[in-house]
Amino acid sequence: MSLLSRFYYFVSLLSVVSCSVTVYTNLNPFLTGTANPAFQTAICIGAVPCDGNVLNPIPNPSLNGGQFAIQLYSGGMTGMSIPVSGSFLGFSIELSVSNAVLGNNGNTLNPIFLNLMANMQARAGKTLVRVGGNSQESATVVPSGLPNNTAIEKPQVGTDRTFTPVLLISPNLIYAMGNISTLVNVEWFIGLPFNDTSNPRTTLAEIAQSVLGKNLIGMQLGNEPDLYTTNQLRNSSYTVQDYTVEWGQVLQDYQQDSKVPNTDIFVAPSICCGLSGNGWMPEQVWDTGFLTQYGNNLAYIAVEHYPTNNCNDTGPLDPEQQMPQFFLNHSAVIELSQPYANTSQIAAQMNKPFIMFETNTASCGGFSGLSDSFVSALWTIDYALNMASFNFSNALLHVGGQSDYYNPFTPPTTNQTSYRQWSIGPTYYAALVVAEALGPTGDAQVLDLGLNNRNDLTPGYVIYEQGNPTRVVLINSLTDPSGASNYTALISVGGNNTGQPGATPATVTVKYLLAPSATDKWNITWGGQTFGGPFASDGRLTGDLQTYTVTCDQTNNVCPITVPAPAVAVVFLTPESFANSQGSATVTFETTIATAVHNKHGYRQSDGPRKVKRPRRTIFPRIRINESR
Ligand SMILES: *[C@@H]1O[C@H](CO)[C@@H](O)[C@H](O)[C@H]1NC(C)=O
Ligand SMILES: *[C@@H]1O[C@H](CO)[C@@H](O)[C@H](O)[C@H]1NC(C)=O
Ligand SMILES: *[C@@H]1O[C@H](CO)[C@@H](O)[C@H](O)[C@H]1NC(C)=O
Ligand SMILES: *[C@@H]1O[C@H](CO)[C@@H](O)[C@H](O)[C@H]1NC(C)=O
Ligand SMILES: *[C@@H]1O[C@H](CO)[C@@H](O)[C@H](O)[C@H]1NC(C)=O
Ligand SMILES: *[C@@H]1O[C@H](CO)[C@@H](O)[C@H](O)[C@H]1NC(C)=O
Ligand SMILES: *[C@@H]1O[C@H](CO)[C@@H](O)[C@H](O)[C@H]1NC(C)=O
Ligand SMILES: *[C@@H]1O[C@H](CO)[C@@H](O)[C@H](O)[C@H]1NC(C)=O
Ligand SMILES: *[C@@H]1O[C@H](CO)[C@@H](O)[C@H](O)[C@H]1NC(C)=O
Ligand SMILES: *[C@@H]1O[C@H](CO)[C@@H](O)[C@H](O)[C@H]1NC(C)=O
Ligand SMILES: *[C@@H]1O[C@H](CO)[C@@H](O)[C@H](O)[C@H]1NC(C)=O
Ligand SMILES: *[C@@H]1O[C@H](CO)[C@@H](O)[C@H](O)[C@H]1NC(C)=O
């Protein structure tokens, strides 16, 4: 069923059956806008919307004229990746804050989240979302539900960063996930606890399998076991061999649970930190026989990794220094992917997808000014396409709580949801760009072009589908309002002594991701459209879509594409590749606040039914460390 027909099906169902799903909002139209005293006096809560810190962009090295040739060949190119889809980049939502994002039960879904997922679906066909993280280790399901209509309760609150609280989960969280998938095409991973092998707590898997059915595509058993000693979930003598033995024991617990019929969709080993020197490399796990013993039970082979961290309270790293070293640096991005090349080959030989299950700019919340600025979008696009070029099948961007800078999207605190919308971070724009660059066919093969003599500030990629180059992604990480650091990519397809006739198209379509500077926070546009500033988004792009048609020189086989500093340009080499990536779904989910705003501008009312409810009362305690890595 198409999204549109599914939506109308849902609408018509609603008119006859009163107990079906209602996409509701608790935004009260009479409380919105600057005239509202609550709005005017409300304090700003949240790292992304409230932190005003803007870093200085890096100085501009000369691009020496800035014309770089790209020669593409019909039929494919050496070293192209395995085929991937526009759903390559998905999201990982920390379990302990997931109800604030998804909703507290199947009847109170968050329309803004639905819109954000619908945007992905329109471009990529579907989105992968994992609900889990460090907090999954302490999760226990309360089958009878939780008081005050909340899906998640944290009875203990700690301040110590390594302290893991007990996390109580209501089945309603899974019902919310299930109902989300009836409206938008989201496929789910659920994180299962592995903190206690003598008390495996299989109930979460039981409920997830029964409620989510085929929309449950993976169950992650254990999160970052290579940090278990550090995080005090195991003692100091815990080894990778112990892990493999224990994993088999807990697998058996699941296999003996008749309410968990499918034990072939596990995700493991989700190790993170061999590259950082404080954890295990995948080969150490493979050498214990892990894949030989459990390969048949795995739907995905998973690792997790963040390039750097902000975990050190006593001496935080300097984001201004991190920026050129790790983020505006293509060599550093390759160094993140290269160590996994052996494992991506092993996974391909086993016919298993290989997933970067959790990543983002920096663990422990990211960095102010870096994780929440355009830098993070430039990095995410480079890193995602780089992982694809190294034969990862998917990667999930982590979403944490209010104190995390790296969130692709952040809802307001629960007590402000009646008059504030969501803050959309730069990495969500990156997810849209990657989805469009890869498109929905599942045939996208990615190759790093080594553009501009492998310059670290100007990476470029080509995407092939069925043997033909269909899209080119060009990144310019410099900041130079004068225009002197713009570069021009000269794209040629075939011809030029390649032994092939010229296949350069007559025209190409270009869409730009733009910001005034690499460290800008809120003036990001994708194809001229935006999600606006802090607390400003209902999850839908606003503004008119702006694309550029570039006329190519077919006599000389050259399409000149200008890439401003900073920007990411996606060049659609064929009309089909553009049409596929723009999608066709038009269904969106209106919030009351959005309706009010739209009415003011004379836009039409919502398509769907709405039910305005009172603001939810539950307050989520802000536990910095436990919300995220
Ligand atoms: C939708 O939510 C309702 C209420 O929580 C629940 O009873 C129902 O099972 C959910 N449906 C799905 C498909 O998850
Ligand atoms: C594992 O987590 C559960 C639930 O939070 C907790 O009750 C239990 O004490 C933990 N076990 C260990 C060994 O950490
Ligand atoms: C439920 O809400 C009531 C009233 O706001 C509050 O007193 C109580 O502590 C809450 N219970 C839990 C378990 O959060
Ligand atoms: C660590 O735990 C294991 C298994 O529970 C136990 O056999 C071992 O003696 C412990 N080691 C230390 C150093 O406490
Ligand atoms: C790849 O991993 C396997 C399994 O750990 C190992 O035996 C092999 O030496 C590795 N190959 C390379 C090139 O690292
Ligand atoms: C934390 O920062 C302090 C001060 O910069 C430094 O001395 C210490 O080594 C850092 N600790 C870690 C674990 O990085
Ligand atoms: C970029 O990363 C490479 C590889 O880690 C490193 O050698 C180089 O110094 C980095 N560049 C900057 C400007 O830090
Ligand atoms: C990815 O896989 C393809 C197909 O097996 C292979 O040709 C290519 O070299 C791999 N890429 C990397 C970076 O390992
Ligand atoms: C709203 O919730 C936040 C925590 O999420 C709390 O710090 C703040 O004091 C609350 N404000 C009001 C007015 O209750
Ligand atoms: C650089 O790019 C910007 C943005 O597209 C454009 O306005 C400007 O004219 C360009 N400058 C040069 C010198 O090409
Ligand atoms: C960003 O946009 C705001 C309006 O949304 C504008 O006032 C501001 O000048 C812009 N900043 C830059 C650096 O362009
Ligand atoms: C292809 O040839 C034309 C003229 O023969 C030249 O202008 C152009 O730069 C060449 N392109 C590449 C990528 O070498």
What CATH number is associated with residue 99? Answer: 3.20.20.80
- Is the CB of residue 135 below 6 angstroms from any atom belonging to ligand 2? no
Residue 332 Cα to ligand 7 middle (Å): 6
Domain region containing 618:
3-48+592-625
**Looking at the structure, do residues 99 and 221 belong to the same domain, yes or no?**
yes
**Looking at the structure, do residues 293 and 434 belong to the same domain, yes or no?**
yes
Both structure tokens of 68 = 């770089």
Task: Please provide the DSSP assignment of 540-578 as one string.
Answer: S-BS----EEEE-BTTTTBEEEEE-SSEEEEEE-SHHHH
DSSP 419: T
Task: Please provide the DSSP assignment of 232-297 as one string.
Answer: TSS-TT--HHHHHHHHHHHHHHHHT-TT----S-EEEEEE--TTTTSS--HHHHHTTTHHHHHGGG
Residue 433 Cα to ligand 6 middle (Å): 36
Residues framing ligand 12 (Cβ under 6 A): 69, 71, 490, 492, 496, 556-558
Phi-psi region at 168: left, alpha or beta (left = phi > 0; alpha = psi -120 to 50): beta
Ligand 4 atom, smallest distance to 236 CA: 13
Query: Ligand 7: which residue has its CA nearest to atom 8?
Result: 325
- pLDDT score for 39: 55
User: Residue 255 domain-assigned?
Assistant: no
**Looking at the structure, do residues 614 and 565 belong to the same domain, yes or no?**
no
Q: Where a domain ends, among 407, 440, 473?
A: 440
Distance (Å, rounded) from C-alpha 425 to C-alpha 535? Answer: 11
β-sheet bridge partners, residue 103: 109
Residue 147 Cα to ligand 11 middle (Å): 44
Both structure tokens of 562 = 């200008």
Distance (Å, rounded) from C-alpha 315 to C-alpha 255? Answer: 46
β-sheet bridge partners, residue 191: 220
**Looking at the structure, do residues 533 and 390 belong to the same domain, yes or no?**
no
Query: Ligand 9: which residue has its CA nearest to atom 14?
Result: 415
User: Residue 618 domain-assigned?
Assistant: yes
**Looking at the structure, do residues 129 and 158 belong to the same domain, yes or no?**
yes
Report the CATH number at residue 490.
Answer: 2.60.40.1180
Ligand 5 atom, smallest distance to 284 CA: 5
Q: Of 221, 244, 222, which is closest to residue 290 (Cα–Cα)?
A: 244
**Looking at the structure, do residues 284 and 220 belong to the same domain, yes or no?**
yes
Please give the angle made by the CA atoms of 334, 340 and 342, to the nearest 5 degrees.
120
Ligand nearest to the CA of 177: 1
Both structure tokens of 168 = 């109580």
Ligand 2 atom, smallest distance to 166 CA: 5
Residues framing ligand 5 (Cβ under 6 A): 283, 286-287, 342
Give residue-wise pLDDT tens across range 600-628.
222 222 222 222 222 222 222 222 323 33
- pLDDT score for 11: 26
Ligand 5 atom, smallest distance to 283 CA: 5
Q: Are strands 394-399 and 423-424 parallel, antiparallel or unpaired?
A: unpaired
**Looking at the structure, do residues 465 and 546 belong to the same domain, yes or no?**
yes
Query: Ligand 2: which residue has its CA nearest to atom 13?
Result: 196
* pTM, 2 dp: 0.90
Query: Ligand 5: which residue has its CA nearest to atom 6?
Result: 283
Q: Phi and psi at residue 27, in whole multiples of 5°?
A: -75, 125
* Residue of 476, 562, 563, 568 with the most ligand 10 atoms within 8 Å of its CB, for mutation: 562
Ligand nearest to the CA of 531: 11
- Cβ neighbors of 266 (< 8 A, separation 6 or more) are 218, 219, 220, 221, 251, 294, 297, 298, 299
**Looking at the structure, do residues 32 and 120 belong to the same domain, yes or no?**
no
Structural domain tally of the chain?
A: 3
Spans of the chain below 50 pLDDT: 1-33, 35, 162, 593-629
Give buried/exposed letters for 274-308 (b at 16+ CB in 10 A, else e).
bbeeebbbbebbbebebbeebeebbbbbbbbbbbb
**Looking at the structure, do residues 109 and 168 belong to the same domain, yes or no?**
yes
* Residue of 323, 337, 456 with the most ligand 7 atoms within 8 Å of its CB, for mutation: 456
Residue 92 Cα to ligand 6 middle (Å): 28
Ligand 1 atom, smallest distance to 105 CA: 5
- Is the CB of residue 446 below 6 angstroms from any atom belonging to ligand 8? no
Q: Of 507, 521, 526, 522, which is closest to residue 567 (Cα–Cα)?
A: 526
3-class secondary structure, 380? helix
- pLDDT score for 600: 25
**Looking at the structure, do residues 216 and 177 belong to the same domain, yes or no?**
yes
Q: Where a domain ends, among 440, 465, 487?
A: 440
**Looking at the structure, do residues 519 and 561 belong to the same domain, yes or no?**
yes
- C-alpha distances out from residue 427 to 326, 419, 424, Å: 16, 24, 8
- pLDDT score for 570: 98
CA 282 to chain centre: 23
User: Residue 599 domain-assigned?
Assistant: yes
Distance (Å, rounded) from C-alpha 438 to C-alpha 37? Answer: 46
- Asked if residue 329 lies in contact with residue 456, where contact means CB atoms within 8 angstroms, the answer is yes
